[in-house]
Amino acid sequence: MQTSGDLGDKPPSGVRAAWLRWRNRVLASTRFQQAAAAFPLSRAIARRKAAGLFDLVAGFAYSQVLAATLDSELLDFLEAAPATTGAVAARTGLSPQAAERLLRAAAALDLTEQIAPGWWTLGQQGAALSGNLGARAMIRHHRLLYADLADPLALLRADRREPTALAKFWTYSASATGAEAGPYTQLMAASQAMVAAQVVPAYRFDRHRALLDVGGGSGTFARAVGAAHPALRIGVLDLPGVIASLPPSAIEPHAGDFLRDPLPPGYDLISLVRVLHDHDDSPAQHLLYAIHAALPPGGSLLLAEPMADTRGARAMGDAYFGTYLWAMGSGRPRTAREIGAMLKAAGFRRWREVATSQPLIARIIVALS
């Protein structure tokens, strides 16, 4: 894959490049910033831009407030019923002053809300988060990412084969036992439920006879599809240590390494749910070749994952997943066009995107063999 570093040392020229240079000089000017903040027609824009800049500066503190609300079980406590500051202090083991500081910080992020002096309940974001088990699991898991990002430049300069906290969590061998793969499998199950909620209503699975979910973990996605389409034959392929955790059901288990072993035949639909972006270009392309070889003529690949350059969620793609996957030591977020080019190279005849209600969580690409 070509990167910007492959394009030569000469900077781009033209009208857009000249405009961007002029724009950036103006925006960097203190005089312009003060004038924009004072002028009535631009004041609101200036304030919004300033607030956005401060959010970039303070983002780490926001994430730690979020982590504290989960680790203290504050959200669970307020979900049950409104509570006083004193009751929150007693429940969380904090002093009344510390509890109030946490409650006010959480309220600033809409996680909590003060309904009367000294009385608190969930804010809108807190209420939404309280029922989202996948997001809660990822927030708790982020302490590993924070450890790796303590020195972000050192992380970027390091050999990606060097073990990081995230790499140690996600990496295990094909011979790993169920206990060794357990934390990985549990997190995947919690987070895949969010993806399944986007994918299952969006795609016509009833057009197919049999689905193989490659890298399907403990079968969270497969069970969601099976519940909606009980007539569909469904299999899951993953490493032996992961397949060992697959609950007894009608799902067909296949133990194997999808980067080394041939994929089982007999399925006219193969799904990759948050799998491709976990792998660098060479193994990802190899996997697409293997899927194309396993599908019958006219079979389909359904690929679902967050993608780079998603409208309204660009920061989630390259800023969050780009950094996360670098720390993990494998993979990168890709645009739909980049994935489409890889599908074409693997032999797929054509591909299309299927809309989801929350593309920030997952977008869908369907390719025809």
Per-residue pLDDT of 322-350, as tens digits, reads 999 999 999 999 999 999 999 999 999 99
**Residue 109: both structure tokens together:** 């992020």
CATH of 133-368, one of 3.40.50.970, 3.90.650.10, 3.30.300.30, 3.40.50.150: 3.40.50.150
First to last CA, the chain: 23
**How far is residue 55's CA from residue 291's CA, in Å, rounded to a whole number?**
42
**Residue 278: both structure tokens together:** 């976990």
The yes-or-no verdict on residue 180 having pLDDT over 80 is no
The yes-or-no verdict on residue 200 having pLDDT over 50 is yes
Per domain, the residue ranges of the chain are 44-130, 133-368
**How far is residue 341's CA from residue 16's CA, in Å, rounded to a whole number?**
27
Which pLDDT value is given to residue 309?
94
Read off the pLDDT of each residue in 50-66 and give the average, rounded to a whole number: 88
Which pLDDT value is given to residue 234?
97
Global pTM value: 0.83
Which pLDDT value is given to residue 7?
57
Which pLDDT value is given to residue 350?
97
**How far is residue 94's CA from residue 332's CA, in Å, rounded to a whole number?**
40
**How far is residue 275's CA from residue 290's CA, in Å, rounded to a whole number?**
14
Do residues 311 and 359 lie in contact, with contact meaning Cβ atoms separated by under 8 Å? yes
Which of 29-33, 113-117, 194-198, 263-267 shows the lowest per-residue confidence on average (mean pLDDT)?
Answer: 29-33
More confident residue, 31 or 83: 83
Output DSSP code: residue 10. Answer: S
**How far is residue 269's CA from residue 291's CA, in Å, rounded to a whole number?**
10
Nearest residue to 304 via CA among 165, 211, 183? 211
The yes-or-no verdict on residue 276 having pLDDT over 50 is yes
* pLDDT band, residue 5 (cuts 50/70/90): low
The yes-or-no verdict on residue 138 having pLDDT over 80 is yes
Percent of the chain with pLDDT over 70: 93
| Residue type at 352 in one-letter notation | R
Residue written as token pair 């203290």: 72
Read off the pLDDT of each residue in 10-39 and give the average, rounded to a whole number: 82
Output DSSP code: residue 151. Answer: S
Averaged confidence pLDDT in the chain: 90
DSSP string, 160-211: TTS--HHHHHH---TT--HHHHHHHHHHHHHHHHHHHHHHTTTS-GGG-SEE
Would you identify the CATH topology of the domain 44-130?
A: Arc Repressor Mutant, subunit A (1.10.10)
Instruction: Please give the angle made by the CA atoms of 349, 257 and 340, to the nearest 5 degrees.
Output: 25
Read off the pLDDT of each residue in 108-116 and give the average, rounded to a whole number: 97
